[in-house]
Amino acid sequence: MLTVLFIIFMLGFMFKGIDLAFRFSWGLLKVLLTIVFWPLILIGFVIGGLVQLALPLLIVAGIIMLISSLSQGDTIAA
C-alpha cells in the first residue's frame, strides 16, 4: 500500500518538478538535481527498504512545490 502511494506521489512530484524547473529557467545543475538526482535518491530509498523515510520526504517536497506554484498564481490541475 505504501509503495502504491509512493509511486503516485512520485509521478506527481516529477511532473511538477519538470514544470517548475523549466518555468523558472533554472540552471542546468538545478534541472538535473530536480529531474534526475532527487528521484534517483528517493527510488534508491525504496529499493533499499526505506519507504518509511522516502514517503515523508516526497510528501514534504510535494507540499513545498505546491505552495511555491500557488504563490506564482497557478491553479491546481485536476
The predicted-structure confidence for 11-64, as pLDDT tens digits, reads as follows 888 888 777 777 666 567 777 777 778 788 878 888 888 888 878 888 888 888
Q: Name the nearest CA neighbour of 7 among 49, 50, 48, 39.
A: 39
Q: Residue 73: what pLDDT? A: 66
Q: Give the predicted TM-score (pTM) of the model.
A: 0.47
55-68 pLDDT, tens digit per residue, is 888 888 888 878 87
Percentage of residues of the chain with pLDDT beyond 90: 0
Cell digits of residue 27: 540552471
Closest CA to 33 of 8, 6, 9, 14: 14
What does the domain layout of the chain look like in residue ranges? 2-70
